[in-house]
Structure 1
């Protein structure tokens, strides 16, 4: 999220959100309809598509309408304005809203992914990679203020690299255009999400040499969140939603990358099956998919550390103020 470009919009939406408080809608047949906005369509969110494909939400009396909102700021806009009931987006967005003085804060209530989802891709093949190899290079990073870039810079600093002085950091490329920019010759290294990283590797355009998710540690990277007022009014629906998500998390843990890929493939019709399998296996093997919906305080504090290091945090926000684990805890009982 671009803090400066969205701050004024968030203020207006906070005022609107106080009036529009959403609610679960009767979908008929005794089911409650929930509109869920995902920040993007990504194999990174495999458990969500498992829950949809396997009918876990329906089993819990829910009809879930999934829409892609294409960006953290747009997801939060839709949530605050009442166009969606639940957002799937990075926890940092709820902190940005809180920093604007929200009277109806956005609450994180179920975690889906617990690591960053980007990888370090080099243009040339590298034998025996060392992070110091990045010094003096042209590094094509993610956009400033977004969680991928913050996790990327956090990792670089952990490795003794100053992103501002030790390399040329390129941040002026829009998220959607980063793969194309690298393919056209921009940067010696690039920070990429899947499936672009695996596609480049398959095509011989790049080589995956490190994982920012593995290096930056556990944090509430992608989380289901909603306005506090919505959760108070729709406790049963929220708990049913979390129960379905957790069933999917268990299913993903117990099945192979090939089995998972087959179930979620309908959500990625244009993707090659072998790429979907590769990506699922990569995320699964490094523990990116959360095994339960609990948002741990230690993970939350790691997120604050990452944001603080990036200069994107006005003040630290206590875990208890923006996280409600009560639904997850009830489900785990």
Structure 2
């Protein structure tokens, strides 16, 4: 009888141990929709490749949805759990009085990510050089274009009177349009800007990121209901992101380029190092996931000046910093 009790006790202990292991090893899938594929999002790819999400028990299913409207539609229709997109999209959604608003919970980038590229080499560039030229900007209503207009006005240029502003070309075709002869200047993301400079197509003369100041340019967001029903998951997600942000802030350019290469197979490592260095040097990568009130207000100022702000929205209405502060 004593032996039987001992065996039963050992069996129960084993079952408890196995159950505990199964709970610990359980992996939860999280579907993330990113607005575009860009080296601007290096910390996200590092979090995946370094296994920071995996350490938290998360399996990230990453989909590129190519455009803010498509990304938000994917999130709202439950095609994704989390979206990586500009914070302005959450304001657009809120203006429609949704039952389940979209909430920003972790910031990835904190500046604009575009650069001003000149067709001709310009020595000692000044913003006033743009007057009387043809400027190939970004899509109207999008954050890149709004930030672009904000920077022009800041430097004494009326984007609709002092130059010829072209903003009716699809995002995917802007670089091609410039390379085939459209525009004296163009607003471009990396790595295209550096690639054009490398190929002699254009020359980087200024950064919209350094000129427009800190703002929640790209953040992770989700529906309010998802945050409430999956609090632990979002906490794990944000912790993994913070680990990646710290890593990106101190790691070598060579190591970072190798880590993100699977997402940019057609881009040379040297070029990726140049791009990552440029973004990191100007402070584009947020070093923690907290979206603060000053950044939020700067975003709305830029939107308002562009005539695209449907209504003022308080920081606490569409931003939840609890997860980010806990992770930090």
User: Taking structure 2 as the reference length, what is the TM-score of the superposition?
Assistant: 0.92
Match of 2:49 among 37, 53, 58: 53
Match of 1:129 among 96, 109, 125: 125
Residue 21 of structure 1 is matched in structure 2 by none
Shift of residue 28 of structure 1? 11
The answer to whether residue 67 in structure 2 is matched with residue 71 in structure 1 is yes
The answer to whether residue 220 in structure 2 is matched with residue 224 in structure 1 is yes
Residue 111 of structure 2 is matched in structure 1 by 115
The answer to whether residue 292 in structure 2 is matched with residue 275 in structure 1 is no
Aligned pairs for 1:1-333 (under 5 A) are 29-332=25-328
- Which has the higher mean CA deviation after the structures are superposed, 244-253 or 257-266? 257-266
SS across alignment from 1:49: helix
Please say if residues 92 and 310 of structure 2, whose CA atoms lie closer than 8 Å, have aligned partners that are also in contact.
no
Please say if residues 257 and 284 of structure 1, whose CA atoms lie closer than 8 Å, have aligned partners that are also in contact.
no
Please say if residues 107 and 218 of structure 2, whose CA atoms lie closer than 8 Å, have aligned partners that are also in contact.
yes
SS across alignment from 1:46: helix
Please say if residues 85 and 230 of structure 1, whose CA atoms lie closer than 8 Å, have aligned partners that are also in contact.
yes
Unaligned runs of 5+ in 2: 1-22
Residue 20 of structure 2 is matched in structure 1 by none
SS across alignment from 1:78: helix
Unaligned runs of 5+ in 1: 1-26
User: Taking structure 1 as the reference length, what is the TM-score of the superposition?
Assistant: 0.91
SS across alignment from 2:280: helix
Q: Which has the greater radius of gyration? A: 2
> What is the total number of aligned residue pairs between the two structures?
307
Cα root mean square deviation, aligned: 1.3
Shift of residue 256 of structure 1? 2.1
